[in-house]
């Protein structure tokens, strides 16, 4: 895997390419509306001219009516099946907003039809499904991508850049906090809650829902390197609300020369997605999507500043997908890429097994 520094050249290319004359929007289709992040998708669509939704596949009449009303979507956009949609319109890629256990079916269908696919995190519910999706993309020469909100944070991009540049020296510890008060507590829709509370449909509870963010960031930071071992504990602090899944977890990743601690939870008192990086020359913290705090000497006080703004292609999933489809960026080693997310899934798989057995799990790479 190429070094993170290659992303800097990618950013520069994206900025140049996207500043060129406006092009026709990239036609895309949306598969499923179960995943509550679809709300964010349609909100973002209001602010971009680089993609156009030409079809939406969703059988549930209640969900169809809900989205049609809220976002003024024409009834002609909706289809009952993937094949019916593809017979009527011709997207270049699909955005997958099904529950995670359906990702493999959709990605394999899309790959057979030559369509790139970008799904919402987590990548999969099982490692076997993750491998199958990677292999489908390879077989049919299509892209398999995963969307993370934190992939579009200027703060995370700045921290990854500074680590790659050696600004912090040797990084020996990373701590990532992700989560919120809980899906029920923040009022997610019933279709979203249905799979978040089902380990077969979502993979796990908070461990998969939010543990994937930190595992994704660590994989890019470590240039694709897998941890030597994973130790995890998970528990349910609110069994009356989440009887079948964990709502709080701690995942320790041991690398050959560093440690990382991922703390996914549905028990935080407020929503948070922040990352602390500790090096032998300094400390850097991604406080929120835009701000970074640094401290480089014992006598210095921490300083907080806004991270540099990202090129348009790296500000959200739609702009990114449009740039990918137009060939303006490659994205092979980005936070979205299939190889990075296969490593992320190996971390989550090991964490789940560790929490179930009470033992540290050695990570054995899957076949390349």
For residues 267 and 179, is the Cβ–Cβ distance under 8 A? yes
Query: Beta partners for 94?
Result: 29, 117
Q: Where are the alpha helices (DSSP H) in the chain?
A: 6-18, 38-45, 61-71, 82-88, 103-112, 127-140, 154-164, 190-196, 199-202, 206-221, 317-325, 338-357
pLDDT recorded at residue 17: 45
Measured CA to CA, the distance from residue 280 to residue 268 in angstroms comes to: 30
DSSP SS3 for 64 = helix
In the chain, which residues have pLDDT < 50? 1-3, 5, 15-21
**Beta bridge mates, 250:** 233
The model carries a pTM of 0.92
For 117-129, how does the pLDDT look when each residue is reduced to its tens digit (9 = 90+)? Answer: 999 999 999 999 9
Strand pairing report for 361-362 and 303-306: unpaired
Structural domains in the chain, sorted by start: 15-149 (3.40.50.720), 151-311+330-362 (3.30.360.10)
Q: What is the pLDDT of residue 16?
A: 47
Nearest to 73 by CA among 38, 115, 35, 102: 38
Tokens coding 190: 């019933």
CA distance 118 to 142: 11
Report phi then psi at 300, rounded to 5. Answer: -80, 150
Query: Do 311 and 296 meet the contact criterion of CB atoms below 8 Å apart?
Result: no
| pLDDT, tens only, 324-341 | 999 999 999 999 999 999
Task: Give CA–CA dist 198/203, Å, rounded.
Answer: 8
Q: Residue 7: its pLDDT value, please? A: 54
Predicted local distance difference test score (pLDDT) of residue 21: 42
The secondary structure element, H or E, covering residue 264 is: strand 259-265
């Amino acid at each position: 895997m190429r070094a993170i520094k290659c992303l800097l050249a990618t950013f520069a290319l994206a900025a140049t390419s996207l500043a060129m004359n406006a092009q026709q929007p990239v036609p895309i289709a949306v598969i499923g509306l179960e995943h509550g992040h679809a709300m964010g998708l349609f909100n973002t669509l209001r602010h971009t001219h680089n993609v156009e939704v030409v079809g939406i596949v969703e059988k549930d009449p209640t969900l169809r009516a809900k989205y049609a009303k809220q976002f003024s979507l024409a009834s002609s956009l909706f289809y009952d099946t993937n094949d019916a949609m593809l017979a009527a319109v011709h997207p270049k890629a699909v955005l997958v907003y099904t529950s995670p256990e359906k990702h493999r079916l959709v990605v394999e269908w899309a790959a057979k039809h030559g369509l790139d696919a970008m799904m919402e995190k987590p990548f999969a519910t099982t490692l076997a499904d993750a491998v199958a999706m990677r292999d489908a993309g390879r077989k049919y020469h299509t892209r398999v991508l995963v969307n993370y909100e934190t992939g579009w944070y200027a703060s995370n991009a700045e921290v990854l850049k500074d680590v790659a540049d050696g600004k912090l020296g040797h990084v020996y510890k990373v701590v990532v906090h992700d989560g919120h008060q809980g899906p029920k507590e923040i009022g997610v829709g019933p279709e979203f809650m249905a799979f978040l509370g089902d380990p077969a449909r979502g993979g796990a509870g908070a461990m998969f829902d939010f543990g994937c963010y930190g595992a994704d960031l660590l994989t890019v930071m470590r240039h694709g390197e897998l941890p030597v071992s994973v130790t995890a504990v998970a528990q349910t602090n609110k069994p009356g609300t989440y009887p079948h899944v964990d709502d709080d977890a701690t995942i320790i990743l041991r690398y050959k020369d560093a440690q990382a601690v991922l703390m996914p939870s549905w028990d935080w008192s407020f929503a948070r997605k922040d990352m602390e990086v500790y090096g032998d020359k300094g400390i850097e913290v991604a406080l929120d999507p835009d701000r970074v705090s640094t401290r480089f000497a014992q006598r210095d006080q921490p300083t907080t500043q806004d991270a540099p703004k990202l090129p348009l292609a790296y500000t959200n999933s739609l702009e990114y997908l449009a740039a990918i489809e137009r060939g303006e960026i490659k994205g092979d080693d980005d936070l979205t890429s299939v190889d990075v997310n296969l490593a992320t899934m190996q971390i989550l798989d090991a964490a789940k097994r560790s929490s179930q057995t009470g033992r540290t799990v050695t990570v054995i790479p899957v076949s390349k």
